[in-house]
Structure 1
Amino acid sequence: MADPTQSAPAVSTHGAGASPAPGATHEAAGAEHGSGGLPQFEFQHWGGQIAYLLVLFAILYVLIARVFTPRMRRVIDERASTIAGALEAARQVQAEALEQSRAAAADLAEARARSQALAFDARAKAAAEAAERSAIEEAKLAAQLAEAETRIAGMRDSAMAQIGAVANDTAMAIIEKLTGKSASAADLKAASAVRGGAA
């Protein structure tokens, strides 16, 4: 972009109507060519460019400090608060799980002890019932055995009495057959006593 202050003298020079010399024509062309460069690389424009940069920097700084930074800080704080809440919730859940596991372990130990006590009581009760049944059966067997012994003793005494009577009858029959006289029971008893004394 050409500077108007530099192009004005060239226009006024050409507007005089005089025919320029060939050297002047080349100088004017060189001046026009030189004035068509980038203005940001020309030293006379650096002051304005620096001012613009400072203004832009100030605007960006204000935007960053007043708008973007609070938003970013708010987002970061919210995220940090969310993370802290999640960590606290996780700690609470872990503590509750640990407490529940301890309570479950205590309940399990109590149930195990109760079941062992019940099993011991059941074994003791079964043993007592078995001992009671065994005592009852032994008493029944003892009573039956005593009754059987009493019956056997009565049968033996009865059999012995019958044997004695049969023996007396047989002896009386033998004596009567041998002697031709009948013997009484008193005679048999006396003879038995005499024989027993001689023995």
Structure 2
Amino acid sequence: MAVETDPATTYSVENAAEASAASVGEHGATTSTGAEHGSGGLPQFQFEHWGGQIAYLLILFVALYILISKVFAPRMRRVFDERANTIEQALSSARAVQQEADTQAEAAKRALADARAAAQRTAAEASAKAAAETAAGRASLEAELAAKQAEAETRIRAARDSAMQQLSTVATDAAEAMIEKLTGAKAPRDAVAAAVKSQG
């Protein structure tokens, strides 16, 4: 039995085989080229690659410089400025609070000094008033005592005069009775009274 073959299918298979062989040949050539480069050392140390490397380095440097100068540095500067402003505001607020505290302390000192002066004046006035009242009371008491003493002396003088008068009368009566008893005659009362008064 004979097998019929399609000419188009046969051509496709042959083309596929040729493409596969060409691919294998290119892969072998690439492998051999890589082997050749590998055997020559690192590419970055070969002079023919330095131009491209320097260009890439310049491009990277410029890109990093632009990023740092346009993006990162302004942000950092803004952060530093905000921090400096915050610190300055905090210091200003602290200075204001300190100044206000000093002012209040000075006012408190003045108020305390005024209160002490007022207390001293009040104490002095109270002491002077008490001394004046004491002096007035003492003077009134002394005057009252002097009046009572004068009244007492007057009463004593009156009592003494009355007692002396009574004593003189009693002495005159006694002397008159003694004279009448001794002499048997009644002596004149005026003479006896004068004699008693002269005797003291």
Unmatched runs of 5 consecutive residues or more in structure 2: 1-27
Paired residue for 2:169, among 165, 172, 187?
165
Q: Describe the SS at the equivalent of 1:182.
A: coil
Give the distance between the partners of 1:129 and 1:90, measured in 2 at CA.
57
Give the distance between the partners of 1:136 and 1:172, measured in 2 at CA.
52
Give the distance between the partners of 2:131 and 2:70, measured in 1 at CA.
90
Aligned partner letter, 1:152:
I
Paired residue for 1:82, among 86, 89, 98?
86
Counterpart check, 1:99 vs 2:110: no
Give the distance between the partners of 2:108 and 2:97, measured in 1 at CA.
16
CA spacing shift, 1:10–1:64, aligned 2, 3 Å: closer
CA spacing shift, 1:9–1:171, aligned 2, 3 Å: closer
Aligned partner letter, 1:130:
T
Which residue matches 2:10?
none
Aligned residue pair count = 170
1:140-198 per-position Cα deviation (integer Å, ceiling 9, x unaligned): 11011001100110111111111111111111111111111223413425x739x96xx
Give the distance between the partners of 2:101 and 2:38, measured in 1 at CA.
85
Paired residue for 2:67, among 63, 66, 69?
63
Counterpart check, 1:192 vs 2:187: no
| TM-score calculated relative to the size of structure 2 | 0.77
| TM-score calculated relative to the size of structure 1 | 0.77
Give the distance between the partners of 2:99 and 2:134, measured in 1 at CA.
51
Which residue matches 1:123?
127
Which residue matches 1:34?
39
Unmatched runs of 5 consecutive residues or more in structure 1: 1-6, 13-28
CA spacing shift, 1:187–1:92, aligned 2, 3 Å: closer
CA spacing shift, 1:178–1:32, aligned 2, 3 Å: closer
CA spacing shift, 1:50–1:176, aligned 2, 3 Å: same
CA spacing shift, 1:43–1:119, aligned 2, 3 Å: same
Counterpart check, 1:179 vs 2:180: no
Aligned partner letter, 1:122:
A
1:102-154 per-position Cα deviation (integer Å, ceiling 9, x unaligned): 11121111111111111110110111011011101101110110011001101
Aligned partner letter, 1:52:
Y
1:13-72 per-position Cα deviation (integer Å, ceiling 9, x unaligned): xxxxxxxxxxxxxxxx9x56633x211011111111111111111111111011101110
Give the distance between the partners of 2:126 and 2:110, measured in 1 at CA.
24
Q: How does 1:124-139 map to 2 (within 5 A)?
A: 124-139=128-143
Give the distance between the partners of 1:43 and 1:114, measured in 2 at CA.
100
Which residue matches 2:9?
none
CA spacing shift, 1:172–1:33, aligned 2, 3 Å: closer
CA spacing shift, 1:57–1:116, aligned 2, 3 Å: same
CA spacing shift, 1:110–1:40, aligned 2, 3 Å: same
RMSD of aligned alpha carbons: 2.5
Which residue matches 2:47?
43
Counting aligned pairs with the same residue, the percent is 56
Give the distance between the partners of 2:37 and 2:102, measured in 1 at CA.
88
